[in-house]
Structure 1
Amino acid sequence: MDTDVTTPAHRPPDPTAVPHVVVMGVAGSGKTTVATLLAARLGVTYAEADQFHPAANIAKMSAGTPLTDADRAPWLATIRDWLSAEADAGRPGVVTCSALKRAYRDVLRAAHGQVLFVHLDGPPELLAERMEGRTGHFMPRSLLPSQLAALEPLADDEHGLTLSITETPDAIVDAVADLLGRG
Structure 2
Amino acid sequence: MAKLIVIMGPAGCGKSVVAARIAAARSATALDADDFHSRENIAHMAGGNPLTDAQREPWIAAMEKELHARLGNNENIVLAYSGLRRAHRARIRACAQRSLFIKLQVPIAQLQERVAKRQNHFMSAQMLPSQLAAMESPASEETIVQIAAHGSLDDVVESTLNAIRETFS
Task: Give the alignment's TM-score, normalised by structure 1.
Answer: 0.86
1:124 is the counterpart of 2:101: no
Deviation larger for 162-171 or 83-92: 162-171
Instruction: Give deviations 1:28-49, integer Å, cap 9, x for gaps.
Output: 1111111111111111101111
Identical columns (%): 38
Paired with 2:154 and 2:137, the residues of 1 have a C-alpha distance of 23
Q: Does the aligned pair in 2 maintain the 1:35–1:95 contact within 8 Å?
A: yes
C-alpha deviation, 1:154, in angstroms: 1.4
1:61-72 matched pairs, under 5 angstroms = 61-72=45-56
C-alpha deviation, 1:106, in angstroms: 1.1
How many equivalent residue pairs?
A: 167
Q: Does the aligned pair in 2 maintain the 1:154–1:162 contact within 8 Å?
A: no
1:160 is the counterpart of 2:154: no
1:76-95 matched pairs, under 5 angstroms = 76-95=60-79
Q: Specify which of 91, 113, 118 is matched with residue 134 of structure 1.
A: 118
C-alpha deviation, 1:91, in angstroms: 0.8
1:104-119 matched pairs, under 5 angstroms = 104-119=88-103
Q: Does the aligned pair in 1 maintain the 2:3–2:96 contact within 8 Å?
A: no
C-alpha deviation, 1:180, in angstroms: 2.6
Q: Does the aligned pair in 1 maintain the 2:9–2:104 contact within 8 Å?
A: yes
Paired with 2:157 and 2:69, the residues of 1 have a C-alpha distance of 24
Task: Give the alignment's TM-score, normalised by structure 2.
Answer: 0.92
